[in-house]
Structure formats: structure tokens, C-alpha cells
Amino acid sequence: MNDFFKRFGVCGVLLILCLFATSIQAETMYISDNLKITLRSGPSTGNKIIAVLESGQIVEVVNPGEEWTQVKMANGKEGWVLSRYLTPSATHNLRLERLQSKHKNLTAQAAALIEENNRLKSENKEFRSEFETTQKQLQKTSTEFETLKSEASEYVSLKANYERVAAQLAEQTEKAQKLDEQVSKMEMNYAIKWFLAGSAVLIVGFLIGFSTKRQRRRPSLV
């Protein structure tokens, strides 16, 4: 009797552990392809229908069985479904939907990348155009600067020559003024000398004439 209870106790513990482990390690299952099955309140077709499950819908296994499996929906409802309609892998239509969704996302990303690439190409084209324009302006400015630099150098040289020639001209003008003054003085002196010489000649002539007349008059008186 004691052996019976011991064996029963061991079996009971093992059964409880199995049930506990099953409840802890809940398995995720999928409804098979192209199906709509009923979720019932018990493991038979005579039980009440709780919900209708569609292909690819995910359920959590609560209590597995060969013919019927107790499952739990995402909204928390629990019921029983036929085990043959459950599959551990995602169904083809679900994988197709995922692939279609992924393809849609990748297509949207590709379109966004293409649009961004076109925008960058447009900006790069504008940048190249602006760069070429700036480069031309820089070359023009550089040429103008070199021309201005050359003209400035010539201007400095011309200015130096002008100042030198102006200084020489001022010096020569001053010398010319002095020479004019000297010539004026010499002309004045020359005119005075000629005037004095002419006056002296007239006086001498007058004296000579006067003396000659007197000499001529004296014999007539004797």
C-alpha cells in the first residue's frame, strides 16, 4: 500500500511538473494556409463557437493534444481548435504578406533614395554651375588685378617721372626768371649807356659846332 502511494505520488508530481512545464513553455502556432477554422469552448464540434480564426493568425498553445489543442488568442480569449490545422511555422500567405510588406517598405525606401539622389544630382549640377561661374569671375578678377597692378606700377613710374620733370621745370623756370631779370637789367643798363652816349655825342657836337662858329666870327672882326 505504501509502495502504491509512493508510486502514485511520484507519478502525480511528474504529471504536475509536465503540465506546469507545458504551461510555462507555451508554444506559438499558426493557423494553416487558406483556412478559416472555429475556436470552440471545448475539444469537440459540439461545443460553442467562440471565434473564427483565419490563415496566418497567431495563437498561443495552452494545452496541446493529438486531435484538439487548447489555444489562446492575442486578445486573451481561450478555446479549442483542431490540432491538424495548426503549424509551427509561418504560413505561406503570411510569409507572402510579410515579404510584400517588406518589398513595399524597400520600394518606398528605394523611391526616397532615388528622389534624394535626384535632388543631390540637381544640387550638384547647380553647385558645378555656380563653381564654374565663380571660377570665371575669379579669373576675370585676377586678370583685372594684374592689369591694375601693371597700370599702378606704370602710374607710380609716371608719377615719379612727372614729379621729377615738374621739379626740373620749376628749377628751369626759376632760372629763366632770373635770366629774364638779368637780361632786363642788362637791357636797361644798355639803354642808359646808349642814352648817355648819345647825349654825350650831342653835347660834344654842340660844343664843337659852337666853338667852330666862334672861330669863324673872330677874323671878320679884325
Task: Name the phi and psi angles at 41, rounded to 5.
Answer: -75, -15
Tens of pLDDT, residue by residue over 140-176, are 888 888 888 777 777 787 788 888 888 888 888 888 8
- C-beta of residue 57 within 8 angstroms of C-beta of residue 30: yes
Q: What is the pLDDT of residue 98?
A: 66
Lowest mean pLDDT among 89-93, 163-167, 208-212: 89-93
Which segment, 10-19, 90-99, 106-115, is predicted with the most confidence on average? 106-115
Residue count (the chain): 222
Share of the chain above pLDDT 70, in %: 77
Burial of 217 (0-12, 13-18, 19+ CB in 10 A): exposed
**71 against 94, higher pLDDT:** 71
What cell does 10 get?
511520484
Q: What is the pLDDT of residue 1?
A: 46
Query: Considering Cα of 43, then 48, then 51, then 52, what sign does the dihedral take?
Result: positive
Q: What is the pLDDT of residue 21?
A: 46
Residues 61-81 have a mean pLDDT of: 94
- C-beta of residue 50 within 8 angstroms of C-beta of residue 79: yes
Tens of pLDDT, residue by residue over 175-194, are 888 887 887 888 787 778 77
CB-based contacts of 77: which residues, under 8 Å, 6+ apart? 39, 50, 51
Q: What is the pLDDT of residue 57?
A: 86
Task: Name the phi and psi angles at 43, rounded to 5.
Answer: -80, 55
Residues 5-20 have a mean pLDDT of: 47
Q: How many CB atoms lie within 10 A of CB 93?
A: 15
In which band, very low, low, confident or very high, does the pLDDT at 81 lie, cut at 50, 70 and 90?
A: very high
Which domains are present in the chain? Answer: 26-90 (2.30.30.40)
Instruction: State pTM to two decimals.
Output: 0.35
Q: What is the pLDDT of residue 23?
A: 45
